[in-house]
Structure 1
Amino acid sequence: MGLLSFSSLALTALAISTPLASAANAIFYPKINLTDTENNLIQAHGGAILRSASSDDNNWYWFGEDKTGLTNSGSFIGVNCYRSSNFVSWERVGHVLSPQDGTNISDSKIVERPKVIYNDKNSEYVMWFHGDNSSYGAAQVGVATSQTVDGQYSWKGNFKPFGNDSRDMTVWKDPDDGSAYLIYATNGNADFSIASLDSDYYYPNESLYTFEEKFWEAPGVFKIDGVFYLIFSRQDGWTPTDNFYMTSTSMAGPWSEATLLAPEGSYAYLTQNAYDIVIEGSKQVVYLYYGDHWSGNQLGSSTYAFHPTTHDGETLSLYKTGAWTLDLATGEWSDLPFDSITAADSTTPDTNLVPCEDGCAGGQAANMTSETSFSFTYSGGAGAKVLGIEYVYNGPKNRFLHIGVTLNGAQAEGNALMETTRGTTYAQEAPFPVELADGDEVTLKLLDADGNAFLIDGVKVYEDLR
């Protein structure tokens, strides 16, 4: 059968109906491989995105870890910087912090989660990062500075805040009063602490609050209507975990009980919070979540996911979407429309279909093994598309399967990466860019001969507007 057309999902209070994305709009397909203007994979893991402080510079700057070629090693290659005016075309500036022999930032050391904030007093950009050795025993923070956002950052040194260890961390600047804060995992990763920074943003000034025996990491902050939303995840190595948030009217607390940012078992749609970005549009403010989609055994191939968050005056939620567009000028955003085919309406043989347990459309899913497949006939306009493959894979943590796409019997370039949802039947969505023409026979096949079976609920077909 051909594709069944569906309109985009009903939109929440922050998502309003807009036309298909224009050239001025940002386009997001969460977890898709992102490339720079030279068509190389973007290497900016665990990073941060901010605007230049210069009124003459309209670019966004993306900092992050370069893990080119790395598998499960965190050895320091460099902190990359990219710039873009539209969140679509990212130009690589290059390494703005590079290894220095014989120091705590040599290529045998660890530099992770680089965050950059602007210090108005000194007209200076200040980078903080998690600095460590290969055994993660040093447990320090590091600081570097630059007079320009994309210049070479001068390393000032590594140290333990207040003499205590620090691993996963972030720094955050309050847009209202310019005060800045360090949030970090400490005490053997058991505690989670908040400290204010000095006026230069070089050192922690005062310890404000400590959550004891929590084992949390990946901190980030939004401030909405005078309320601080502290985002974090549980610790589980390079594996996606459920993300949570707490609220307070002061960074010194008291803080509310933890609330899930996305449904339990979705593991924040297979991401971990990296940085949280505020875009002040002319019509509304967007609170943009930027998460890492870690590939724990192939860190250099890890991807990224940008999601809007919704806020109803009290509750903050990560919005589930497979493709969406954002007008950076107005702040208006919406899902991209898609054509959809369910397993029940596909050309997949009935013998491969099983009842689904996750409430999937059509009530059936394709049981994927090395001998079975999911297939459909594409009906629609020719051109670049992104297949949103909806699947459930309940297996061991940090386990990936690879799906190949064949068009009319020929293998398409690339493969889709399916990741386990570890003990849940929460349906995830994996993107796969492909060129399609009307009448194409599309087949999804498992490429891992020894892979565990999983289920495909269906496929969404989006226009590829990147």
Structure 2
Amino acid sequence: MKNLLLIALSFFIFCACQNKVRYESFTPGELWLDNNGMHINAHGGGILYIDGLYYWFGEHKTEGEAGNVANVGVHCYSSSDLYNWTDEGIALSVDPEGSGSDIEKGCILERPKVIYNKQTGKYVMWFHLEPKGKGYKGALSGVAVSDQATGPYRYLKAVRPNKGFYPSNVQEIHKGVSKAEGQSFSGASLPEHVDSLNILGRDFAGGQMARDMNLFVDDDQTAYHIYSSEENSTLHIAKLTPDYLDYSGEYGRFFPNRFMEAPAMFKKEGKYYLMMSGCTGWSPNEARSAVASDIMGEWKELGNPCIGPDADKTFYSQSTYLLPVQGQSGRLIYMGDRWTPENAIDGRYIWLPVKFEGERFVIEWESEWRL
């Protein structure tokens, strides 16, 4: 009789394990489990849509890990409905400790984004990279490539953007002597006005700084890299080469002295929109938004797109991507991270519907919602 009870109990446990969670709605801030019953591990991520599937790429965090140290690499998940995600494994792995590689275990690898190049048939990944043990002074852009959406991705290089090129909207002061030569700064402010410091001129020969970043592919398949530059004080938008593997030398600088991070871009009815955060480290802050008729400006600020309770903290999240929903014209999803720096793996995802009010887009809290 005891054996029969044990067999019955074992069968019950087996059946319960097979009964995987099936989602039919979004519940922002709650645990979000993949097909294996594990919390999705794709922080600071972005989405690529190819042939009926969405691919979600993000930073893989480890238990007890504080901050942004990369111990594993970039994780990939796939979904056909945006609610339920299948673990596709590690798309880009960091190299072993002691290898001396740019992406050695212990480096900082942030905000990975993947785009598909129709001309070459390659999947191209860009990310913000800081070599191991060097803090945030590197401000490099890492590039990797794959023949498959899920990888594995082959690391190619890490560079500073647009070495030896001035932006299209360069000012004469940028071609003069830099007061920032030999200096580095921290925090969300500088001791003088950005243009008088001339950080752009300081970094002209070696390439511009690039930290928080995103990618955007326009209707004509031209790709752009959007990143925080000049000690985080100014946003740059840079055109990539046709193969998406390098900078073309064409770029512009926008929102000088505004200290904007976490850029995310989308296009609607011929206009370009940006969402960004302020620079307050891991602490949430009030989001910003902007619109332009041309990706290279002029950009017009529209204020905080979030409305309602906790809008001044972006619902305790930070933007990482603005996702167009396939088959639903004009429908977008705000993707944000609710960071937990003391245990980064427990970071939660804040996905909310994007609505439009005249010229501006707005985001309002919903504890549960459906497409």
TM-score normalised by the chain length of structure 1: 0.62
Task: Give, in angstroms, the shift of residue 300 of structure 1.
Answer: 1.2
Asked if the contact 1:232–1:273 (Cα under 8 Å) also holds between the matched residues in 2, the reply is yes
User: Structure 1 residues 207 and 70 mapped into 2: Cα distance closer, same or farther (>3 Å)?
Assistant: farther
Q: Which residue is 1:179 aligned to?
A: 222
Asked if the contact 1:72–1:296 (Cα under 8 Å) also holds between the matched residues in 2, the reply is yes
Which among 289, 296, 303 is matched to residue 259 of structure 1? 303
* 1:178-205 Cα shifts (integer Å, max 9, x gaps): 1111111111112211111111111121
Asked if the contact 1:239–1:296 (Cα under 8 Å) also holds between the matched residues in 2, the reply is no
Match status 1:82 vs 2:77? yes
User: Structure 1 residues 119 and 255 mapped into 2: Cα distance closer, same or farther (>3 Å)?
Assistant: same
* 1:336-392 Cα shifts (integer Å, max 9, x gaps): xxxxxxxxxxxxxxxxxxxxxxxxxxxxxxxxxxxxxxxxxxxxxxxxxxxxxxxxx
Q: Which residue is 2:129 aligned to?
A: 131
Bigger mean CA deviation after superposition, 188-197 or 215-224 = 188-197
Higher strand share: 1
Quick one: which amino acid aligns to residue 246 of structure 2? Y
Match status 1:239 vs 2:283? yes
Task: Give, in angstroms, the shift of residue 275 of structure 1.
Answer: 0.8
Q: Which residue is 1:202 aligned to?
A: 245
Asked if the contact 1:26–1:86 (Cα under 8 Å) also holds between the matched residues in 2, the reply is no
Quick one: which amino acid aligns to residue 187 of structure 1? E
Could you tell me how far apart the structure 2 residues matched to 1:47 and 1:168 are? 11
Which among 64, 68, 72 is matched to residue 66 of structure 2? 72
Which among 302, 305, 323 is matched to residue 350 of structure 2? 305
Quick one: which amino acid aligns to residue 55 of structure 2? Y
Quick one: which amino acid aligns to residue 271 of structure 1? S
Asked if the contact 1:172–1:180 (Cα under 8 Å) also holds between the matched residues in 2, the reply is yes
Task: Give, in angstroms, the shift of residue 242 of structure 1.
Answer: 1.4
Which among 170, 185, 189 is matched to residue 232 of structure 2? 189
User: Structure 1 residues 24 and 315 mapped into 2: Cα distance closer, same or farther (>3 Å)?
Assistant: farther
Match status 1:217 vs 2:261? yes
- The correspondence of residues 257-336 of structure 1 with structure 2, limited to 5 A, is 257-263=301-307, 266=311, 267-281=313-327, 284-326=329-371
Could you tell me how far apart the structure 1 residues matched to 2:256 and 2:360 are? 24
User: Structure 1 residues 106 and 145 mapped into 2: Cα distance closer, same or farther (>3 Å)?
Assistant: same
Could you tell me how far apart the structure 2 residues matched to 1:72 and 1:323 are? 29
Asked if the contact 2:215–2:224 (Cα under 8 Å) also holds between the matched residues in 1, the reply is yes
Task: Give, in angstroms, the shift of residue 285 of structure 1.
Answer: 3.0
Which among 73, 91, 94 is matched to residue 86 of structure 2? 91
Asked if the contact 1:143–1:155 (Cα under 8 Å) also holds between the matched residues in 2, the reply is yes
Q: Which residue is 2:293 aligned to?
A: 249
Q: Which residue is 1:103 aligned to?
A: 101
Task: Give, in angstroms, the shift of residue 297 of structure 1.
Answer: 1.8
What residue ranges of structure 2 are gaps of 5+ in the alignment? Answer: 1-20, 163-206
Asked if the contact 1:25–1:325 (Cα under 8 Å) also holds between the matched residues in 2, the reply is no
Q: Which residue is 2:141 aligned to?
A: 141
* 1:142-192 Cα shifts (integer Å, max 9, x gaps): 000111101201111101102111111111111x21111111111111221
Task: Give, in angstroms, the shift of residue 25 of structure 1.
Answer: 8.1
TM-score normalised by the chain length of structure 2: 0.77
Equivalent pairs counted in the alignment come to 298
- The correspondence of residues 420-459 of structure 1 with structure 2, limited to 5 A, is none
Q: What secondary structure is seen at the aligned counterpart in 1 of 2:228?
A: strand
User: Structure 1 residues 294 and 24 mapped into 2: Cα distance closer, same or farther (>3 Å)?
Assistant: closer
Q: What secondary structure is seen at the aligned counterpart in 2 of 1:297?
A: helix
Asked if the contact 1:50–1:277 (Cα under 8 Å) also holds between the matched residues in 2, the reply is no
What residue ranges of structure 1 are gaps of 5+ in the alignment? Answer: 1-22, 327-466
User: Structure 1 residues 167 and 121 mapped into 2: Cα distance closer, same or farther (>3 Å)?
Assistant: same
User: Structure 1 residues 210 and 204 mapped into 2: Cα distance closer, same or farther (>3 Å)?
Assistant: farther
Matched-pair identity in %: 34
Asked if the contact 2:234–2:253 (Cα under 8 Å) also holds between the matched residues in 1, the reply is no
Task: Give, in angstroms, the shift of residue 88 of structure 1.
Answer: 2.4
Q: Which residue is 2:173 aligned to?
A: none
Quick one: which amino acid aligns to residue 28 of structure 2? P
Task: Give, in angstroms, the shift of residue 209 of structure 1.
Answer: 3.1
Could you tell me how far apart the structure 2 residues matched to 1:138 and 1:120 are? 31
Task: Give, in angstroms, the shift of residue 26 of structure 1.
Answer: 4.7
Asked if the contact 2:126–2:141 (Cα under 8 Å) also holds between the matched residues in 1, the reply is yes
Could you tell me how far apart the structure 1 residues matched to 2:24 and 2:279 are? 31
